[in-house]
C-alpha cells in the first residue's frame, strides 16, 4: 500500500513538471483530497487539466468546486465565461457491468442536466488517452437537428439508472458542446478535441461495435 507521504511526493513531482508552484492553492486542495481518500489518479488528472486550463485566459480556476447542486472536477471562469469540466474514465460499478454502455451514457446525461439547470455555465468532459468519448450522438448534433424522439430515447436510457424527469428533455434540446479534452498522464499532455473530430470518432466506434 502506498503511504500518504509517497502520494504527496507523486503530486509534487508532477506539479513541478507542470510548472505549478508548491504554494499554489490547488496543491493544498489536492493534498486535502488525498487525505480524504479520493482516487489519486483522479486528483492528478484534475491537476493536469487545471494546469492546461490556466493558459486559456480564465481569471479563476479550481478543482472539486461545488456549483449550485453539483460538483465540477475542474471549474474555470472569466468575465465572459464559466465552464465545468467533468473527468470521465468510464468506470462501471460491478452491478451495471452487463449494461455498461448504457450506464456510461446515463452518467453523461445526468451531468449534462445538472449543469444545464445552472445559469450561464458551460459543460465539457475530459477523457484519458485511449478512452472513447461516449457522449450520446444525439447530443453531438446541432440543437435544431435533434428530434424529440431521439431525446426521449436518450432520457429513457438515463432513467434506467437515475431519477430523471422526462421534462428534462428541454434542457437536452438546447445543450451544446464545442470540444472535449483528452489527457495523457504519461506525457502530461492535454489536447482539445473539436466536436467535428469527436463526432467522427464516436460514429466510427459505434459502427464498429454495433
pLDDT per residue as tens digits for the range 34-57: 999 999 999 999 999 999 999 998
Q: Model-level pTM?
A: 0.93
Cell of 203: 460514429
Sign of the CA dihedral 92, 97, 101, 105?
A: negative
Q: Which residues pair with 125 in a beta bridge?
A: 86
Percentage of the chain modeled with pLDDT above 70: 98
Q: Distance (Å, rounded) from C-alpha 109 to C-alpha 162?
A: 10
Report the relative pairing of strands 82-87 and 122-128 from DSSP bridges. parallel
Contacts of 150 (CB under 8 A, 6+ apart): 138
Q: Distance (Å, rounded) from C-alpha 171 to C-alpha 191?
A: 28
Query: What single-letter DSSP state applies at residue 22?
Result: T
Query: What single-letter DSSP state applies at residue 79?
Result: S
Provide the domain count of the chain.
1
pLDDT of residue 1: 46
Query: ∠ CA 49-54-58 to the nearest 5 degrees?
Result: 120
pLDDT of residue 53: 96
Mean pLDDT of 193-210: 91
Least Cα distance to 183 among 129, 130, 134 occurs for 129
**How many other C-beta atoms can be found within 10 angstroms of the C-beta atom of residue 141?**
15
Burial of 46 (0-12, 13-18, 19+ CB in 10 A): buried
Q: Distance (Å, rounded) from C-alpha 130 to C-alpha 147?
A: 31
pLDDT per residue as tens digits for the range 58-83: 999 999 999 888 899 999 999 889 99
- Determine the structural domain holding residue 66 and report its residue range: 4-209
Mean pLDDT of 116-142: 92
pLDDT of residue 4: 60
Cell of 171: 434542457
Amino acid at each position: 500500500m502506498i503511504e500518504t507521504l509517497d502520494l504527496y511526493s507523486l503530486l509534487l513531482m508532477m506539479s513541478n513538471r507542470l510548472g505549478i508552484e508548491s504554494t499554489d492553492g490547488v496543491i493544498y486542495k489536492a493534498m486535502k483530497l488525498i487525505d480524504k481518500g479520493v482516487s489519486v489518479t483522479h486528483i492528478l488528472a484534475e491537476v493536469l487539466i487545471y494546469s492546461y486550463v490556466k493558459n486559456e485566459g480564465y481569471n479563476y480556476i479550481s478543482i472539486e468546486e461545488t456549483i449550485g447542486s453539483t460538483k465540477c472536477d475542474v471549474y474555470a471562469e472569466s468575465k465572459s465565461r464559466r465552464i465545468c469540466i467533468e473527468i470521465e474514465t468510464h468506470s462501471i460499478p460491478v452491478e451495471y457491468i452487463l449494461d455498461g454502455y448504457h450506464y456510461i451514457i446515463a452518467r453523461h446525461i445526468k451531468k449534462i442536466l445538472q449543469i444545464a439547470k445552472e445559469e450561464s455555465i458551460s459543460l465539457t468532459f475530459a477523457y484519458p488517452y485511449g478512452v472513447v468519448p461516449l457522449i450520446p450522438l444525439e447530443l453531438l448534433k446541432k440543437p435544431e437537428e435533434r428530434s424529440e424522439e431521439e431525446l426521449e430515447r436518450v432520457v429513457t436510457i438515463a432513467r434506467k439508472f437515475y431519477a430523471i424527469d422526462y421534462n428534462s428533455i428541454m434542457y437536452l434540446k438546447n445543450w451544446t458542446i464545442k470540444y472535449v479534452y483528452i489527457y495523457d498522464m504519461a506525457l502530461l499532455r492535454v489536447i482539445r478535441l473539436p466536436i467535428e473530430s469527436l463526432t467522427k470518432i464516436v460514429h466510427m466506434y459505434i459502427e464498429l461495435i454495433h
